[in-house]
Amino acid sequence: MKLQNKEIAIVGGGPGGLTLAKLLQQEKIKVKVYERDLNKNARVQGSPLDLHKESGLAAIIKANLLEEFKNNFLPKADRKKIMDENAEVFFSDHEIKIEENFGNPHFRPEIDRGALRKILLESLQPETVVWNSHFIAMDKQGDGWLLHFKNGNSTYADIVIAADGANSKIRPYLTDIEPFYSGITMLEGTIYDAQNTVPKIFALLNGGKIMAFGNKKDILMGQKGNGEIGFYASFKADEHWEVNSGLNFNAKAELLEWFKTTYAEWSTIWHELFENTVVPFVPRPIYCMPLDQTWDALPNLTMLGDAAHVMPPFAGEGVNMAMRDALELCECLTCKQYSTLQEAISAYEISMRKRAANAAKESLDNGEIMHGEKALATILEFFNGHLQT
d(CA 389, CA 173): 46
Using a 10 angstrom Cβ sphere, with 0-12 exposed, 13-18 middle and 19 or more buried, the burial of residue 17 is buried
193 marked ligand binding residue:
no
Q: What element of type H or E holds 379?
A: helix 375-388
36 marked ligand binding residue:
no
d(CA 234, CA 187): 6
| DSSP code per residue over 8-58 | EEEE--SHHHHHHHHHHHHTT--EEEE-SSSSTTSPPPS--EE--TTTHHH
**Could you tell me how many helices (H) and strands (E) the chain has, helices first?**
13, 17
Peptide bond into 280 cis (omega under 30): yes
- Kindly tell me the sign of the dihedral angle through the C-alpha atoms of 327, 331, 334, 338: negative
Cα atoms in the 13 Å half-sphere on the side-chain side of 85: 19
50 marked ligand binding residue:
yes
355 marked ligand binding residue:
no
d(CA 277, CA 77): 21
d(CA 284, CA 234): 9
Residue 290 CA from chain centroid, whole number: 18
Cα atoms in the 13 Å half-sphere on the side-chain side of 124: 25
Ramachandran assignment for 388, one of left (phi > 0), alpha (psi -120 to 50 degrees), beta (any other): alpha
The one-letter amino acid code at 186 reads M
Q: Looking at residue 172, what DSSP letter applies?
A: G
d(CA 259, CA 254): 9
Distances (CA, A) of 92 to 23, 209, 234, 377: 38, 10, 21, 14
Binding-site residue set: 43, 50, 113, 306
Binding-site residue set for FAD: 50, 113, 306
Binding-site residue set for NADPH: 43
